[in-house]
Amino acid sequence: MLDSLVFLIAGTLAAATPLLFAALGETVVEKAGVLNLSIEGMMAVGAATAFTVATLTGSHVSGFAIAALASALLSTVFAILVLFFLANHVAAGLAVGILGLGLSALIGKNHEGQTISPLSDLDMGWLSELPLLGKILFSHDPMLYLGIVMIFLVWWLLSHSKLGLIIRAVGESPDAASAIGYPVILIRFLAILFGGAMAGIGGAYLVLSYTPLWAEGLVAGRGWIVVALVVFGMWRPLRIALGAYLFGAVSLLELFIQGMGFSIPSQLMSAMPYIVTIVILVIMSRNPRLIQLNHPASLGQSWHRNA
Amino acid sequence: MKKLNRILPGALLGLAATLSLGTTQAQDVFKIGYIYPSPAADVGWAHELDEGRRAVEEHFGDKVESVIVENIPDGPDAARIMNQMAAQGVDMMMLGSFGYMNDGLKTAKRYPDIDFIHASGYKTADNFGNFLTRNHESAYVAGMAAGYVTETGNIGMVASYAIPEVIGIINAFTLGAQSNNPDISVSIVWLNSWFDPSKAQESARSLIAQQSDVIFSIYQDTPSVVTVAEEEGVYVVNTSSDMKPYAPTHLLASMKVSWGDYFIEQVQASMDDSFTGGSFWGGMADNAVSVESISEDLSAEQRASLDETIKAISSGEFNPFTGPIIDQDGEELLAEGETLSDADLLSISWLVQGIETRLPK
């Protein structure tokens, strides 16, 4: 029984972390008014790069760092398309996402199906040795805790800092922001880079900690869940985090219930995480005023100076 | 127009040159095209197909030439690759995925001079044969090993979809475990996905948390489940390839498939113009399936009983599906001494008693 509890809670934290990084990055991107749908591809590139680098150098830290760089690099392709060539956000995002999936296969080619030793857990002394609580909360790898820190960092950045105010202004009305002298294109560009790097870290977490192996297609649709989480989480970091943990919890519960032998059709169980997460987030955000307040008004619209 | 006139004969000449080059080459060496659905990694389905190719090259040496295309999804891409290979003048094609069946058959009709062998399908033609393995034979033996080592009496299985082949393996494994440990219970997690290593790993963890101390990884192309078992310190059995390197201390056994003998036989037949298509369902007797890397933790007697069963299955004395077999609802499906026919096994849709999880319906 206790084993199960540890599995469920500790597992949830780990399952949600890759989603969390990517979703927080995408929140900043969308708050700046850009819709980047290429998360799946960016996570895949991050995962493949992280695995390759960590295998070759033996260093997980450089794995994460170069994964962030690689995905940010891929996101510049998207940024150039939508910011300078004014391409449609949706089409450019899809194209770059597919490009990313292909690139990830190429990058990881020599390591297909290989495993790696996972990122080691943080030893927090007596905290980690606490009965039950130690295993559930205090014996994870450092990136998982960084994920939790990022929730609050992004929340503070967007709603309490001047930079956040500028990002939101650019996402609400780029014309007004530009008129008072903010470099709209530059801010959007940096937001996209940040989103790319975060997606890369999410992908890296997937292969360096959560599932320590590389195989093509390993991201398995998580990038699309991230897009849904951001929208249904109303672009608010705390809600998005809640959604990510909820998704992680229900997807583990699904496997757990199957193992217990309940006669619920497993196809329905497999759909559960998506249904539960979306239904709960939709119910939480059904207030139309809330939507008006949080939805970036110029989301997904191309903008150039003389518009 | 003048320009075109000048180019056209040149192009035609070039084309003729390549065509003639293709035919002269074909007379010298026997060209075989291989199409795999996934990259040929260190382990897994495509890896074993590629081992078959290697066996062919080793056997025939310079007489054969291989054209390999990997990671081809089912559908128009596969059809395009097949036509391209046919145009390149291959003499034979090996199609490595169930989903290539219809396109493969169409290509086979268009090119009657090329012989095809196709993995795990059910349609055949004069120049289109298919091949399958009797994985339930090795599953029974691996199940016996699981029955010996389990302390909790619970076996956890991670499976993709409930197709007949998977159901047959699950039943045979359970029957094998029950042969020496009648109280065995089995829990299954259906992934409902052909490929999601993260989900496979979480499933294994969840089964272990629920007291399974032997994990059976069914058709997971990556060592995902095997590495979790090693990490958590429980025994694990896997399919397709030998995964000993991924779980050096906790691999109980690997149910390996080997295509070498079959490929060599078919290539020889095609070279001699005696290829007839047909279905091959290879078992232990054909060296197509085997149990590898059996754990040293089994006692000498246990090991001997495994070897005896392997011998009995190989010689045809023993069929893993021999009655009495009772299904989950307590209904007797096979009476004492009866055996399951191949046709019934190919469309199996029930689970034996002792398995707690239901089929997803």
Q: What is the pLDDT of residues A90-118, one digit of tens each?
A: 999 999 999 999 999 999 988 888 889 88
Predicted TM-score (pTM) of the model is 0.82
Q: What's phi and psi for B256, nearest 5 deg?
A: -90, 145
Mutation target vs B (from A225, A266, A272, A274; most B CBs, 10 A cutoff): A266
pLDDT at B3 over 60: no
Tell me if chain A has a CB within 8 Å of the CB of B246: yes
Q: Do B197 and A213 touch (CB under 8 A)?
A: yes
Q: Do B357 and A259 touch (CB under 8 A)?
A: yes
**Pick from B326, B324, B321: nearest CA to B283:** B321
CB B178 within 8 A of CB B211: no
CB A104 within 8 A of CB A45: yes
CB A28 within 8 A of CB A194: yes
Residues of chain B positioned with their CB less than 8 A from the CB of A7: 205-206, 208-209
State residue B59's pLDDT score: 95
The residue ranking higher by pLDDT, B255 or B16, is B255
The residue ranking higher by pLDDT, B72 or B27, is B72
Report residue B194's pLDDT band, with 50, 70 and 90 as the boundaries: confident
CA distance A304 to A302: 7
Average pLDDT value for chain B:
89
Average pLDDT over residues B117-139: 92
Q: Do A4 and B210 touch (CB under 8 A)?
A: yes
Residues of chain B positioned with their CB less than 8 A from the CB of A215: 41, 195, 197, 221-222
State residue B179's pLDDT score: 95
CB B136 within 8 A of CB B340: no
Residue A303: inside a domain: no
**Pick from A253, A258, A259: nearest CA to B207:** A259
Average pLDDT over residues B148-158: 96
Q: Do B199 and A220 touch (CB under 8 A)?
A: yes
Beta bridge partners of B129: B117, B278
State residue B11's pLDDT score: 42
Residues of chain B positioned with their CB less than 8 A from the CB of A220: 193, 195-199
pLDDT at A21 over 80: yes
Q: Do B210 and A263 touch (CB under 8 A)?
A: no
State residue B16's pLDDT score: 41
pLDDT at A262 over 90: no
pLDDT at B40 over 90: no
Q: Which residues contact B299 (CB under 8 A, 6 or more apart)?
A: B148
The residue ranking higher by pLDDT, B117 or A259, is B117
Q: Which residues contact A158 (CB under 8 A, 6 or more apart)?
A: A27, A28, A31, A164, A167, A168, A237
Residue A304: inside a domain: no
Of B193, B206, B223, the CB nearest to A115: B223
CA distance B103 to A294: 50
Residue pairs between chains A and B whose CB atoms are closer than 8 Å: 113
Of A4, A212, A220, the CB nearest to B227: A212
Report residue B24's pLDDT band, with 50, 70 and 90 as the boundaries: very low
Please confirm whether the linkage preceding B324 is cis (ω < 30° from 0): yes
Q: How far apart are the first and last CA of chain B?
A: 65
State residue A108's pLDDT score: 92
CA distance A30 to B144: 56
Q: Which domains are present in chain B?
A: 29-133 (3.40.50.2300), 135-256+289-346 (3.40.50.2300)
Of A215, A263, A267, the CB nearest to B358: A263
CB B145 within 8 A of CB B302: yes
pLDDT at B170 over 90: yes
Of A6, A216, A265, the CB nearest to B39: A216
Residue A299: inside a domain: no
Q: How far apart are the first and last CA of chain A?
A: 62
CATH number, domain of A168, equals 1.10.3470
Residue A306: inside a domain: no
Q: Do B196 and A220 touch (CB under 8 A)?
A: yes
**The dihedral formed by the CA atoms of A37, A43, A49 and A54, expressed in degrees to the nearest 10:** 160
Residue A231: inside a domain: yes
- How distant is the Cα of A94 from the closest Cα of chain B, in angstroms? 20
Mutation target vs B (from A209, A258, A260; most B CBs, 10 A cutoff): A258
**Pick from B212, B197, B192, B146: nearest CA to B44:** B197
- How distant is the Cα of B34 from the closest Cα of chain A, in angstroms? 19
Tell me if chain A has a CB within 8 Å of the CB of B328: no
pLDDT at A170 over 60: yes
Mutation target vs B (from A9, A112, A114, A260; most B CBs, 10 A cutoff): A112
Q: What percent of chain A has pLDDT over 90?
A: 66
Token pair for B29: 């060496």
Average pLDDT over residues B166-183: 95
Token pair for B194: 């052909």
pLDDT at B20 over 60: no
Average pLDDT over residues A21-38: 97
Residue A280: inside a domain: yes
Residue A302: inside a domain: no
Residues of chain B positioned with their CB less than 8 A from the CB of A255: 189, 199, 202-203, 206
CA distances from B149 to A182, B135, B194, B209 (A): 69, 21, 29, 18
Q: Which residues contact B301 (CB under 8 A, 6 or more apart)?
A: none
Task: Domain count for chain A, please give it.
Answer: 1
Q: Which residues contact B115 (CB under 8 A, 6 or more apart)?
A: B91, B92, B93, B127, B128, B129, B266, B269, B270, B275, B277
CA distance A201 to A189: 19
ipTM: 0.78
Average pLDDT over residues A115-140: 85
- H helix intervals, B29-163: 45-60, 76-87, 101-110, 135-149
Q: Do A105 and B39 touch (CB under 8 A)?
A: yes
Residue A301: inside a domain: no
The residue ranking higher by pLDDT, B165 or A154, is A154
State residue A132's pLDDT score: 80
Domain boundaries, position A201? 2-294
The residue ranking higher by pLDDT, B106 or A1, is B106
Nearest-Cα residue of chain B relative to residue A264: B360
Report residue B27's pLDDT band, with 50, 70 and 90 as the boundaries: low
- How distant is the Cα of A4 from the closest Cα of chain B, in angstroms? 5
Q: Do B210 and A6 touch (CB under 8 A)?
A: no
pLDDT at B50 over 90: yes
Average pLDDT over residues A262-280: 83
Write the DSSP assignment of A83-97 as a string of letters. Answer: IIS---HHHHHHHHH
CB A236 within 8 A of CB A284: no
The residue ranking higher by pLDDT, A74 or A124, is A74
